[in-house]
Amino acid sequence: MSSQYSIRELSQEFDVTTRTLRFYEEKGLLSPARSGQNRTYSATDRARLILILRGKTLGLSLEQSTDLIAMYDPASNNKRQLETLIEKIQSRRHQLEAQKHELERMIVDLESWEERTSTAMENKAKSKKVN
The sheet that has 4-6: what strands, in order across it? 4-6, 38-42, 33-35
Whether 75 is in a domain gets the answer no
Considering only CA atoms, which of 28, 26, 31, 60 is closest in space to residue 46?
31
Spell out, as residue ranges, where the chain has pLDDT lower than 70: 1, 130-131
What is the predicted pLDDT for the residue at 17?
A: 97
Entry pTM = 0.72
Single residue among 17, 50, 70 that ends a domain in this structure: 70
| Cα within 13 Å of Cα(62), Cβ side | 10
- Other Cβ atoms within 10 Å of 20 Cβ, number: 16
Same domain membership, residue 93 and residue 64? no
Q: Which domain holds residue 33?
A: 1-70
What is the predicted pLDDT for the residue at 1?
A: 60
What is the predicted pLDDT for the residue at 75?
A: 80
